[in-house]
Amino acid sequence: MAIPPPPSVPPGSPPGQVPATASSPGGGAPPALHAASLRRAFGPMVAVADASLALAPGSVTALVGPNGSGKTTLLLMLAGLLTPDAGEIRVHGMTYAEHGPDARRRVGWMPDTFGTWDSLTCTEVLTTFGAAYRLPAEVARERALGLLQTVHLAEYATAPAHVLSRGQKQRLGMARALIHAPGVLLLDEPASGLDPRSRVDLRRLVRSLADSGVAVLVSSHVLVELDEMVDDAVFINRGATVVGSPAPAMARWRLTTLDAAALTSWASSVNLPLAADPDEAPVLPGAPSAGTFVVSLPDESQAAALLRDAVRAGVPISRMSPAGGRLEQTYLAMETDRR
């Protein structure tokens, strides 16, 4: 997917004014965004208790957590739109307290719901934000038109933004977040309200932005979708980030057979612990003996061996697939609470 090139006049401050970024502990590329021990309360409600994360340039990181776990509050602080009660945020080495405008110009923010003004056209929404980031008018206009094409809204360029559907507004919100070619992109539930085609487009756009060096943090509760686009994950529970790996030691597989009795008797003969699938669809009238089961296996070669042995033993397996993605499995394995 084509992304308009960065503005010819870079929105950030000239080289030399940017303070040196602390090197990462491992000696690799310094993070584009680094947050340590963030906390934010609203009265007695502690929305974010202790959150830390680092975003590498050119990577996509998932922000995963149940409803009310503090994702939006954390993203607002990272975007410089909400002041933390404690902790530190550095964007390319700069803090919002010391280098507010310069730090903000390096961050693009897409809220979970993008409100628009009734009177502005889609192009004007984008050029207005371009002006706020001090892009020259011509540069802002050129980028606005390019980005409207990127998010497939070119035909609405002169239409009032309020006529857009929810999904189209989300896409305009994405274009808005990119108007100043930020090096860090923060997306809060970007896929909500998008149709399947637009979700695929979003994934491709996020991936191509990362390939061009942007550090992306994306929150979503649709874990399977995130699984396909992220390199890394940060889990958050009750306002605290949790160290977790998106690849669990044991992966769950879903097995469907045309003959449940044959599968269960073979499984017990080889000591394979099978569990009935809790999400199993009702058995179809035409296949009364069919059944779906879940099994945990340490790796893919074990999964391949299981399939080979079951088929050799004459068990009619009609389907075998991972039961949920890596993120979903890690998420379910964590002690998380909704609130």
- Residues of this chain that bind ligand ADP (CB under 6 A): 42, 45, 47, 65, 67-73, 339
At its nearest, how many Å lie between ligand ADP and the CB of residue 171?
Answer: 21
CA 78 to CA 35: how far, in whole Å?
A: 8
Angstrom distance (rounded) from CA 56 to CA 74: 18
Q: How far is the CB of 335 from Mg ion (least distance, A)?
A: 20
Q: What is the closest distance, in whole angstroms, from the C-beta atom of residue 45 to ligand ADP in the complex?
A: 5
The distance of closest approach from Cβ of residue 72 to ligand ADP in the complex, given in angstroms and rounded to an integer, is: 3
Shortest distance, position 19 Cβ to Mg ion, whole Å:
32
Length of the chain: 339
Q: Give the residue among 294, 281, 286, 282 at the shortest CA–CA distance from 320.
A: 294
Specify the 3-state DSSP secondary structure of 320: strand
- In this complex, which beta carbon is closest to Mg ion, that of residue 61 or of residue 150? 61
CA proximity to 259, closest of 194, 322, 203, 317? 317
**Segment lying near Mg ion (by CB under 5 A), choices 64-72, 95-103, 121-129, 222-230:** 64-72
- Inter-helix orientation angle 166-178/137-150, to 10°: 140
If the CB atoms of residues 13 and 336 are measured against ligand ADP, the closer one turns out to be 336
Toward Mg ion, which CB reaches closer, 72 or 170? 72
Taking the complex as a whole, the smallest distance from the CB of residue 66 to ligand ADP amounts, in Å, to 7
Residue 234 pairs with which residues in a beta bridge?
Answer: 63
Nearer to Mg ion, 186 or 306 (CB): 186
Out of Mg ion, ligand ADP, none, which partner does residue 241 contact, by CB within 5 to 8 A per kind?
none
**Which residues, 6 or more positions from 279, have their beta carbon under 8 angstroms from its beta carbon?**
none
End-to-end CA distance of the chain: 38
User: In angstroms, what is the minimal distance from the CB of 80 to ligand ADP?
Assistant: 16
How far apart CA 160 and CA 169 sit, in angstroms, is: 11
Question: Which of Mg ion, ligand ADP, none has residue 70 at its interface (CB below 5 to 8 Å by kind)?
Answer: ligand ADP
Residue 271 binding target from Mg ion, ligand ADP, none, CB below 5 to 8 Å by type: none
Neighbours of 6 (CB within 10 A): 16
> Which distant-in-sequence residues (6+ apart) come within 8 Å of 25 by Cβ?
none
- In eight-state DSSP terms, residue 8 is S
Q: Which is nearer to ligand ADP, 226 or 295 (CB)?
A: 226
Q: Which residue is nearest to Mg ion (CB)?
A: 72
CB-wise, 72 or 150, nearer to Mg ion? 72
Nearer to ligand ADP, 67 or 119 (CB): 67
Residue given tokens 């360029």 in the structure block: 157
Task: Calculate the alpha carbon distances from 226 to 18, 191, 233 in Å.
Answer: 33, 10, 9
160 binds, among Mg ion, ligand ADP, none (CB under 5 to 8 A by kind): none
72 sits near Mg ion (criterion: CB under 5 A): yes
Would you tell me how many other CB atoms lie within 10 Å of the CB of residue 60?
25
Q: In the bound complex, what is the minimum distance in angstroms from residue 7's beta carbon to ligand ADP? A: 31
Q: How far is residue 53's CA from residue 68's CA, in Å, rounded to a whole number? A: 19
> How many residues bind to Mg ion according to rule CB under 5 A?
2
Q: Kindly tell me which of 71 and 99 has the beta carbon lying closer to Mg ion.
A: 71
Q: Minimum distance from CB of 53 to ligand ADP (Å)?
A: 14
Contact window for Mg ion (CB under 5 A) among 7-15, 32-40, 68-76, 171-179: 68-76
Residue 73: contacted member of ligand ADP, Mg ion, none (CB under 5 to 8 Å, by partner type):
ligand ADP
User: From CA 278, how far away is CA 34, in angstroms rounded?
Assistant: 40
**Out of ligand ADP, Mg ion, none, which partner does residue 45 contact, by CB within 5 to 8 A per kind?**
ligand ADP
Q: What is the DSSP letter of 66?
A: -
Residues at the interface with Mg ion (CB under 5 A): 71-72
